[in-house]
Structures are given as structure tokens and as C-alpha cells.
Structure 1
Amino acid sequence: MKFENILVEKKDSLAQITINRPKKLNALNKATIKELNIAFAALEDDETTRAIILTGSGDKAFVAGADISEFADFSVEEGANLSRLGHEILFDYVANLSIPVIAAINGFALGGGLELAMACHFRVASDNAKMGLPEVSLGVIPGYGGTQRLPQLVGKGKAMEMIMTAGMISAEEAKESGLVNHVTTQEELLPLAEKIAGKITRNSSDAISAAIRAINAGFEEGVNGFDVEVEEFGECFGTEDFNEGTAAFLGKRKPNF
């Protein structure tokens, strides 16, 4: 796959998507959002892909926000449509992807950049990373899931403070608040993400997809996550991975998923 704004690499079962607009600090524009949608869809269709790492090019930014010039003159209706489409083709799309996505935050993750990282299934960050949602300083609110996913990760009070002050927090503070899982050096960031991905890919991809659906269900309004868990648990019994996993356990060998 060839793109103008992103790079896609694949090694065995692990894929890496790099947002590659270093002169713009990897800011999200319409074209980049569309390319990310195409890349994620293609990797999900590839049955050999079992984990995806998402990062930014260079050592300054994961994604330093959205391209404000594209929507500075939008009307109310255009603004709502911008948010709705973004959710549909990228942010919600990533959150509900059947393949686990790890965000490797290698610098600034601001606005839409932090929202994209939060849409991933979990996050690791370099020690120079800075994260925040500065939208209210522009007279708008986070529109790509920030007002919903940030409270889920750090709690309502912390999210209120971060959004209302438009301030940034350090990687260590992000770890303390539960926004990121691990903090490491810039040099060790991708090796750490790859190490975690390697642990994931040794397990059942069917079970991991089911776990993603069950976990996400617990955060959906009007959905009983426990009911979804019961259903997904039952469905696992009909998979080849379940047969292999249980046979391997009983036979005292490693499973071959």
C-alpha cells in the first residue's frame, strides 16, 4: 500500500502505521484521516495481521492536533458533519477494530492526536511526550471522542480539568492517571510496543477480538456488557482456536493459533 501521508509496514503478523507529516507535526487533515481508514481496513481484511502499532514520524510528535485551516470557516452543520464523519471512518472505527491497536506516542499528542491515541486499545509513551486537549482555547470542544474517552480513562474530574484548562500533561502524569500504560525512552518506545504486541500475537486472535467487543460493550450506553460477555464467551466455544487452545493445555504443549 502506498500513501502520501502515512507509512505502512508489515512484518509477519505485526503491522505498523506511521503518520508521516513531520513538517506539520503529523497533524491530521482530511486526506490523512482517509488514508488511515483505508490502511486499517486493509490490515483488518488481512487474516495474517494480528496486532497493529500506530505512531508518528520523527521524535517531536505523535499527532499534534488537527489541521485547523481546513475547518476554520465551517458552519454549525459543517462542524457537526466533520465530527460525525471522523468518528465513523477513523476514531470509532479504530476503537472497534477486531485487531488490537497499540498507540506508541512519540511526542506531542494534542487535540485530535490524543483522541486518536485514546481510540486505540491502549497506549505506551516516550518520556518526552506531552498530551492534552486544547480545543476550548479555540472556542470549540474535542469533537473526535475526547469528551467521552478521556473521562473513561482518567476519571471525570481529571478529564474536566484537562479539557477546561486546555493544558498539557507529561508522560509520567499520563501514566499515573491511567491514560497510558507504560513510559519509556524515545529509543525504546517502538521496541517496547513490539514486545507487547509479540505477547498478544501468541494468543488466540478470535478470543482477543471477542474480548475487544465485550470490553467496549461495557462502555456503550444502553448495552449490558455482562450480557455481551456471556454471548462472546459462548461463541468462543465454536472456534478452532478454542479447540486448539484446550487441546494444547491438556496435552501440555504450546498452542498453535
Structure 2
Amino acid sequence: MTDLLIERRDGVLDITFNRPERRNAFTRAMYGELRQLWIDTAADRSVRVVVLRGAGGKAFAAGNEISDFVGNEDVVQYEDWIRGMLDGLFRLPQVTVAAVDGVCVGGGLAVATSCDLRVATAGSRFGYPIARTLGNALSSPVLYRCAAVFGESLTREMLLASRLVDADRAHAVGAVLSVLSDRDALDAEVETLVAGILQASPATLRTTKQQLAARARLTEVAPPEEEALLHEVYGGPDFAEGVRAFLAKEKPAFGAT
């Protein structure tokens, strides 16, 4: 079994995150494969649409595989490497669609907000509950991308109150195009969406994406002090406690600082 299922059909690249037993949490190997896949896909004019899904019906993707952080000499550098994968996805010339069925949190939400379009089943939920789980922090570009998609108010709720946003609220702010009753309805909606994209002018779609990417480069840049700030967070006691507690399946006991 592969952790990424990749299928090519006329004009469409279908990608399924295939770790349902771990709610499709991303491993280092998956990130590496996705990084290369975006490089190859960007140069492939036969692909017009990229669709991303999660296997199992419980999650699109539930963040990173936390064990990958153990023994990692520089977690900030690892997160920066992951952000390069997200940037590659965001800058693809093809239209990208996240078909969300279930939990979409952490790294899964970072991937979904790097896509152009999102559709979801009614039971799907979105968020970054990291203040209650790992005690880490998002990089500014990932945070800004979430705010661009969900709005600042819901982004603050996700991060500061550790609350998950349901599909209806996400739809109300335009973060998802439509909310479907179940997986079959979701798949049907994706096919309708894909069919419409395949009929559209490739020149219009590519140009629009280039224009929006240029705007994002101006508004989603990390501040100069960010690396030092993230090193302080990832090297601090809260993150160490968060990783320990997660792997031990315990509730973390974060400090007051």
C-alpha cells in the first residue's frame, strides 16, 4: 500500500492521501513525493485540474505525523521545507481542488488552503487546534493563507480558541464552494466542477492564477524576525511537552509562559 494514490485521466490528476488508519497524517516521505509531484505537474500541459482527497471518510488530512518531529535537529527548517511544498502547490498553473470529507486540520488545512477551490461534506471540520495539542506555531505565510481563505475572524477563532469550524460556517464565508450531504454527493460535485474547468480557457485560468499569486507574494510574506521567533517556539518547553503528550496519548500540561 502506498501512502499517496495517484491517478491520471483525461486532463485530471487525482491524488488521494492514503493513511486512513492515521487519519491521513502527512509523513516526511509524503511531503517529499508531493514536492516532486508539483514540480513535474507544473511542466505538464496535459494536466488541467488537480484534485486532492483523503481516504477513509474520516479525514482529508489530520496534520503532520508527529513522530517525524522526534530527533529532528531543526524543526523550523523542516517546517520551512514543508512550506516549500505548499508553495509549489499554490503556484501550480493548473486549477487545484480540495475535496474534503471529514477532519481537515493542521497540515491538512495548510494543503487545503493552498488549493484554489474547496468543496466539503456536511460533517467536515476545519482548524488549527495546535495551542491545545502541540504548543507550536504556524509560519506567517501559512497563517496569512488561512486568513485569506477563511477571513481573519475565523482564523483567530481557530488558533486562539482552538475551535474547529464546521462546513456550513466555512461555506458562509466562502472558504468552501459547496457543502454536500455525503461522499457520493461530494464526488459528483467534484466531477461537475472538473467538467466545467476542462471546458474553460486554459489561458484565462493560468493568467488569473498568476495574478493572484503575485498579489499573495506581496501580502503573505513572513516578517524578518520570524525565524528567530519560530526557533524560540519549537525549542521551548511547550512544544517538547506537546510532542511527548501526543505520542503518549496524554493531555499536555503546558506551562504559563
TM bucket (normalised to shorter chain) is 0.7 to 0.9
> Does structure 1 residue 116 correspond to structure 2 residue 116?
no
Corresponding residue for residue 83 of structure 2: 87
* Residue identity matched to 1:220: R
Cα distance in 1 for partners of 2:82, 2:14 equals 21
Corresponding residue for residue 230 of structure 1: none
Q: 1:144 offset after TM fit, Å?
A: 8.3
> Does structure 1 residue 136 correspond to structure 2 residue 134?
no
Q: 1:74 offset after TM fit, Å?
A: 4.5
- Larger Rg belongs to: 1
> Does structure 1 residue 212 correspond to structure 2 residue 209?
yes
Cα distance in 2 for partners of 1:217, 1:192 equals 29
Kindly indicate whether structure 1 or structure 2 has the higher relative contact order, using CA contacts under 8 Å at least 6 residues apart: 2
Matches for 1:95-114 after TM superposition, within 5 Å: 95-114=90-109
Task: Select 1:202's aligned residue among 199, 202, 210.
Answer: 199
* Residue identity matched to 1:24: R
Corresponding residue for residue 187 of structure 2: 190
> Is the contact between residue 98 and residue 115 of structure 2 (CA under 8 Å) also seen in structure 1?
yes
TM-score for both structures, normalised by structure 1: 0.79
Moved more, 108-117 or 152-161: 152-161
Cα distance in 1 for partners of 2:63, 2:101 equals 14
Corresponding residue for residue 174 of structure 2: 178
Corresponding residue for residue 253 of structure 1: none
Task: Select 2:52's aligned residue among 41, 51, 54.
Answer: 54
Q: 1:16 offset after TM fit, Å?
A: 0.6
- How has the CA–CA distance of structure 1 residues 27 and 34 changed in structure 2, closer, same or farther, with 3 Å as cutoff? same
RMSD, aligned CA: 1.9
For residues 80-104 of structure 1, the C-alpha deviation after alignment (integer angstroms, 9 at most, x for no partner) is 211211111x211111111111000
Moved more, 173-182 or 65-74: 65-74
Aligned residue pairs: how many? 218
Cα distance in 2 for partners of 1:66, 1:145 equals 17
Q: 1:149 offset after TM fit, Å?
A: 1.0
Q: Percent identity?
A: 27
- How has the CA–CA distance of structure 1 residues 8 and 144 changed in structure 2, closer, same or farther, with 3 Å as cutoff? farther
Corresponding residue for residue 31 of structure 1: 29
Cα distance in 2 for partners of 1:70, 1:134 equals 19
Corresponding residue for residue 4 of structure 1: 2
Corresponding residue for residue 242 of structure 2: none
> Is the contact between residue 126 and residue 167 of structure 2 (CA under 8 Å) also seen in structure 1?
yes
> Does structure 1 residue 40 correspond to structure 2 residue 35?
no
Q: Can you give the 5+ residue segments of structure 2 that lack an aligned partner in the other structure?
A: 221-257
- How has the CA–CA distance of structure 1 residues 208 and 167 changed in structure 2, closer, same or farther, with 3 Å as cutoff? same
| SS of residue in 2 equivalent to 1:206 | helix
Corresponding residue for residue 161 of structure 1: 157
Q: Can you give the 5+ residue segments of structure 1 that lack an aligned partner in the other structure?
A: 224-257
Cα distance in 1 for partners of 2:55, 2:137 equals 27
Cα distance in 2 for partners of 1:97, 1:147 equals 20
Corresponding residue for residue 22 of structure 1: 20
